[in-house]
Amino acid sequence: MAALRAALLAWFDASGRDLPWRAGIEGRRDPYRVWVAEVLLQQTQVSRGLGYYERFLDAFPTVQVLAQAPLEAVLKAWEGCGYYARARHLHRAAQQVAAQGFPTSYAGWRALPGVGPYTAAAIASLAFGEARAVNDGNVRRVLARLGAQTRPSDTWVQAQADALLDPERPGAWNEALMDLGATVCTPRAPRCAACPVAAFCQAFAQGQPTAFPAPKVRAPVQEVRAVAVLMGDARRAVLEPRTGTLLGGLMGLPTEVVEASETSQQALGRLCARLDATPQELLGEVVHGMTHRRILLQVYGARGMQAPQPVAQAALSRLDQKALALGDQQAPLFPVS
């Protein structure tokens, strides 16, 4: 174990990724910057997430600024990152932190809205030097290959992570495991010749590292059909609040889900009756994939009495951005009456 730790930490010290939230002394980093990064990158690759991270920190450079901002501004800054419940939880938790101060322990972070075991362990170890092992997808893959585990349970992965954690440098150890999984011990084409811990890896010894871990059985993707209306154009349109856990708090085109027992035209009629609007021709269809859903959205032009609002000022999901883009493909557009 001592040799494995030494080999991985030496590699990390020489080859670890230079990321903005890693600035500062190990174990005493800015907890706010670490926190934002860990929340944002839960569902976003680092290569894409860097731009989102910098944009968010430019808008809200401190936890006090974030706490005082209206939720609409936070969601606008989060635009494109997806899983908007994370932004809502981050905003609520920031208000608690601004009033009470930053937690300094794993238990304190776990008590905040939206902060789960992984995020709490990451912040506690990276910003405060607490000996807490993280467990994410990269860590799971590295440990499964080290132990040649085909279907490692969460309990097994956490137990291995806890046992291997370097108590002297817990934050560096956690980052080293994550960097190894992200850059060397990758899912489909691991670079075993460059791996600092290949000598300790049972999967490498067996000559089949990609067999570990076996792919997770994923739930089937649910296809959702819906209709929306564009009253206005791609720059000014009638919008309404989204509800639900996925897109709640955002704005979007008026939309109705097509129920299993009805046609798209029936759903469109129900939508226009609700809006007191007159449907026009079909502008197009957009397809948007989410983790367990695939949304097929038919977008129609419509006329109504509602006042359009500037689209650029609204927090919109990627789905609605795609739908609004259809307005640029039609000339003339359907103006509001």
The answer to whether the Cα torsion of 136, 139, 143, 148 is positive or negative is positive
Q: What are phi and psi of 294, to 5 degrees?
A: -125, 115
Say how far apart CA 193 and CA 327 lie, in whole Å: 51
User: Cα–Cα distances in Å, from 194 out to 72, 185, 207?
Assistant: 46, 9, 15
Active-site residue (options: 38, 79, 175, 256) = 38
Residue type, 222: Q
DSSP letters spanning 5-61:
HHHHHHHHHHH----GGG-SSTT---HHHHHHHHHHTTSS-HHHHHHHHHHHHHH--
Instruction: Give the pairing of strands 293-303 and 222-230.
Output: parallel
* Annotation says 38 is catalytic: yes
- What 3-state class would DSSP assign to 262? coil
Active-site amino acid positions: 38
